[in-house]
């Protein structure tokens, strides 16, 4: 029987082995999810809300265990794991509080305003969620909470290295009283995953991951006429304009590059700095990155833990090596330490240009790409010179100017002004171009997999 083995990237020690399900067993989970949906869809939004609040309470009660498990499976700093659990609890509470209003029937007029109509946001059924490893609880929760409120059920395929986290989340939901079938977890290979997308009872597919994986999943879903939401990779640009507060920019950019060990889709990755402030920013930025304390993610003093796996470590090493071969300068870091575990140091690459992975691609680790721009206009041009468009940031003392740039010129889904952050339950989350399509959070995710049903009254 095929098995999945999870490994602690900080110690390279094996954690657990899991048996891979047969296609038949996985299909049984789909059928159970459909059965759960048939009952759940008849409940009102107000009736669903208490279940979400109970899950929030159960998450907080399990915070220490969940955080420790995430750290063991993918190297997340323990304190960041606790923050992630709290965010997930808040997402369930936000959805419970605001979902009934956001999903309420809408009254409209038709036939020239003479007759009434209703737009009802009705659930559609089983939603299949394909999950990455970087936020083992948050990633499934942002889909689960929205779709439970909408009246759907969810089947989760977690990343292999976080199999335990997916199963633990299901256990917590079950203990919180979530009705049977509404959240199922499958442990399967890629072939079975494709068959699940094709399954007649699956009505929607949502996936977070690389753009290459997103293209494949999107094609399989489209071929089977299944709606999909794809939140894919990015190489988010953070612009340091001529009037930027350099001290604030440096502090925030270090945080933005190293958050979650640099393994976040909306991490600050490319730092585009205008010529007027380039030297001052780079000197301070490199100094702070070079001083980052790397070590055991269970230790409260650690600022940077290991990468999630040996595969991820090898990928980062190769991307940096290719960038240097093509002319990038290593301003700090770049040489992994001789130690057990998948540790890669905080690294800054300068002189990054088109044709390098550090310029063109997503480096999913603690590696910053610094790019010099002639002026503010050139910085904006370089920021948009990317196949991606998920997030980004602007540092400027002129907030009005920054907002205008963000609104009218920055070709991404999310922009931060003089700040960094990953996600907020009250704001839409998603991107454009090769970063995918569809939105989560902010009420948008609750409607992605609903049927906007038009009901005409006489």
Q: How many CB atoms lie within 10 A of CB 334?
A: 20
Of the residues 231, 362, 440, 448, only one is catalytic, namely 231
Tell me if residue 47 is catalytic.
no
- With beta carbons less than 8 A apart as the criterion, state whether 341 and 12 touch: yes
Closest-CA residue to 297 (of 251, 258, 349, 254): 258
- With beta carbons less than 8 A apart as the criterion, state whether 290 and 332 touch: yes
d(CA 136, CA 142): 11
DSSP state of 226: -
Copy the structure tokens of residue 182: 């509404």
All residues at 6 or more sequence positions from 388 whose CB lies less than 8 Å from its CB, including other chains: 211, 232, 233, 234, 235, 236, 362, 412, 431, 433, 434, 435
Closest-CA residue to 9 (of 57, 55, 74): 74
Copy the structure tokens of residue 346: 């905080």
Q: Nearest-5° angle of CA 320, CA 323, CA 324?
A: 85
Of the residues 88, 162, 253, 265, only one is catalytic, namely 265
Tell me if residue 200 is catalytic.
no
- Farthest-apart Cα atoms in the chain, separation: 76
Q: Which residues are catalytic?
A: 231, 265
């Amino acid at each position: 029987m095929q098995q999945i083995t999870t490994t602690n990237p900080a110690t390279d020690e094996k954690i657990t082995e899991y048996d891979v399900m047969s296609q038949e067993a996985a299909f049984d989970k789909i059928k159970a999810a459909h059965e759960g949906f048939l009952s759940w869809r008849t409940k009102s939004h107000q009736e669903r809300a208490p279940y979400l609040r109970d899950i929030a309470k159960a998450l907080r009660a399990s915070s220490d265990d969940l955080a420790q498990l995430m750290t063991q499976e993918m190297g997340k700093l323990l304190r960041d794991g606790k923050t992630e659990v709290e965010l997930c609890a808040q997402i369930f509470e936000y959805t419970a509080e605001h979902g009934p209003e956001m999903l309420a029937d809408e009254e409209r007029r038709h036939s020239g305003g003479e007759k009434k109509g209703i737009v009802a946001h009705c659930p559609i059924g089983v939603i299949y969620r394909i999950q990455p490893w970087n936020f083992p609880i948050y990633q499934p929760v942002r889909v689960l909470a929205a779709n439970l409120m909408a009246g759907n059920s969810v089947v989760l395929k977690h990343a292999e290295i976080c199999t335990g986290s997916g199963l633990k989340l299901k256990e917590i939901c079950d203990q919180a009283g979530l009705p049977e079938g509404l959240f199922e977890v499958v442990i399967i290979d890629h072939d079975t995953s494709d068959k699940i997308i094709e399954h007649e009872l699956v009505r929607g597919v949502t996936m977070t991951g690389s753009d290459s994986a997103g293209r494949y999943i999107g094609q399989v879903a489209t071929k089977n006429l299944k709606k999909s939401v794809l939140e894919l990779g990015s190489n988010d640009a953070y612009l340091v304009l001529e009037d930027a507060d350099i001290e604030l920019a440096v502090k925030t950019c270090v945080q933005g590059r190293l958050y979650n060990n640099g393994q976040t889709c909306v991490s600050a990755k490319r730092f585009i700095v205008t010529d007027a402030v380039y030297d001052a920013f780079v000197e301070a930025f490199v100094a702070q990155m070079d001083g980052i304390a790397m070590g055991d993610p269970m230790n409260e003093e650690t600022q940077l833990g290991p990468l999630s796996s040996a595969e991820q470590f090898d990928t980062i090493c190769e991307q940096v090596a290719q960038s240097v071969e093509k002319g990038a300068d290593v301003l700090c870091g770049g040489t992994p330490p001789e130690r057990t575990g998948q540790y890669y140091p905080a690294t800054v690459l300068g002189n990054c240009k088109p044709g390098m992975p550090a310029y063109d691609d997503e480096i999913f680790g603690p590696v910053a790409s610094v790019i010099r721009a002639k002026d503010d206009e050139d910085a904006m041009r370089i920021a948009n010179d990317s196949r991606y468009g998920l997030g980004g940031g602007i540092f400027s003392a002129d907030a009005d100017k920054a907002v205008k740039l963000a609104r009218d010129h920055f070709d991404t889904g999310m922009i931060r002004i003089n700040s960094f952050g990953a996600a907020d339950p009250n704001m839409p989350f998603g991107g454009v171009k090769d970063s995918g399509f569809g939105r989560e959070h902010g009420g948008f995710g609750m409607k992605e997999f609903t049927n906007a049903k038009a009901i005409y009254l006489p």
